[in-house]
């Protein structure tokens, strides 16, 4: 009887945990579609939408509660590309701060931009 009860309890636990909705690490909102459209057709309107998307993603609701890796670097690079170099470099440095493993690559980009 004990084995039967133990088996039923284990199966119940497995069933209940499998029914829970998975929670993602990061909140992406509409990032994929927006950046896809921008990469397909570079317009000022789409560029503004991408920058807005970056601001949305900063408000993370995912499990990690931190911006996904590479996002600050991408935002910084885009800002540098449109002439907002100081603000762009600040975001590149923020990327290094949050993800130190990116420092080797991002530091080289910062050095080139500061020349």
Q: Domain map of the chain by residue range?
A: 23-114
Question: Residue 37 above 90 pLDDT?
Answer: yes
pLDDT band at 13 (very low <50, low <70, confident <90, very high): low
* pTM tops 0.85: no
Q: Which fold, 23-114? A: 1.25.40
* Cβ-contact 61, 27 below 8 angstroms: yes
Per-residue pLDDT reduced to its tens digit, 42-95: 999 999 999 999 999 999 988 888 999 999 999 999 999 999 999 999 999 999
Q: How does DSSP assign 85-108, residue by residue? A: HHHHHHHHHHHHHH-GGGHHHHHH
């Amino acid at each position: 009887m004990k084995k039967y009860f133990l088996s039923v309890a284990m199966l119940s636990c497995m069933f209940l945990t499998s029914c829970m909705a998975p929670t993602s690490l990061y909140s992406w909102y509409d990032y994929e579609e927006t950046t896809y459209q921008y990469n397909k057709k570079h317009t000022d309107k789409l560029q503004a939408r991408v920058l807005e998307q970056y601001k949305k993603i900063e408000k993370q609701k995912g499990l990690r509660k931190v911006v996904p890796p590479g996002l600050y670097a991408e935002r910084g690079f885009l800002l540098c590309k449109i002439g907002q170099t100081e603000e762009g470099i600040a975001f590149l440095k923020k990327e290094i701060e949050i993800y130190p493993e990116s420092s080797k690559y991002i530091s080289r980009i910062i050095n080139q931009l500061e020349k």
